[in-house]
Structure 1
Amino acid sequence: MIHKIFSIALSALVLFSTFSFTVEKHYCGNRLVDVAVFSEAKGCGMEMPLKNSMKKSCCKDTIDVIEGQDELQSLSFDDFELETQEFIVSFLYSFSVFYESLPKQIVPHKDYSPPNLVYDIQLLDDVFLI
């Protein structure tokens, strides 16, 4: 069970290390108003229009880009040396032998029911195994 949990955790780690996403934050003054992941942060409604750009706005947007790993190493079977290829093929062949099914065995007395005991002979004859 621990092996399965560990395998799932490592595969999730590899998967999430390749994701890239952005985190947008909208500040009004020094106060954080909105945080958005994968979308645009909503404003507080106090943004200055472009024609009044002479005055400094109290609102500020910050964008944090978290880039994932894009240089994963991928190997093909041909990239291995000949000895390694031979080992992998022989290991997989010998391991696959364990999963071959056995021939179905026939049990001839499967449906046989023993006769009913009328008398217990051991008690009648007082013969007991010690």
Structure 2
Amino acid sequence: MMDMQMPITPDDCTIEKEGCCSDNNEFVQGNSEVQTLATSLNFEQQVFLTSFVYTYINLFEGLEKNVVPFKNYVPPIIVKDIQVIDSVFLI
């Protein structure tokens, strides 16, 4: 036995539509006393930081040039069609 549902009109519906939006405001009290943390780096940390920044900046130094290694390459002259000889075709 199959259950069949009778088509109903929107006026016959018993479910009431609820409001979708509400305006809520929240106020959070923040900390008014902000302390800065003073850090000091020892000599080894200064050397590491300096060398890291130097190598990172110089890492991208030569990328402005567009180097094409096969620009002057001349392909060989085709004497025979290798695809036909080997019976290899793209489908």
> What's the TM-score, normalizing by structure 1?
0.28
Normalized per residue, which structure has more strand?
A: 1
Q: Which has the higher contact order (CA 8 A, sep 6+)?
A: 1
